Amino acid sequence: MQCPTCGESFVPQDSVALPFCGARCRDIDLGRWIDERHSIPVERQWDEDDIGEVMN
């Protein structure tokens, strides 16, 4: 299965936040959505370019 946020392949059974690979990608996606809809500044711990490095 491929994560829609980071594009990494992962095993669905290992994820607690389907269809994302993990809670952090789910939160990133949620943050994006909030940004687009409400323009609320969201402090993110992970930049999109860093996701691959943070992933376990």
Catalog residues that contact Zn ion under the rule CB under 5 A: 3, 5-6, 21, 25
| Least distance to Zn ion, CB of residue 20, Å | 5
Which lies closer to Zn ion via its Cβ, residue 3 or residue 11? 3
CB of 21 to Zn ion, least distance (A): 4
Q: Could you give phi then psi for residue 50, rounded to 5 degrees?
A: -95, -5
The secondary structure of the chain in percent helix, strand, coil, rounded to multiples of 5, reads 45, 5, 50
Closest CB to Zn ion among residues 13, 39: 13
Helix (H, G, I), strand (E, B) or coil at 49: helix
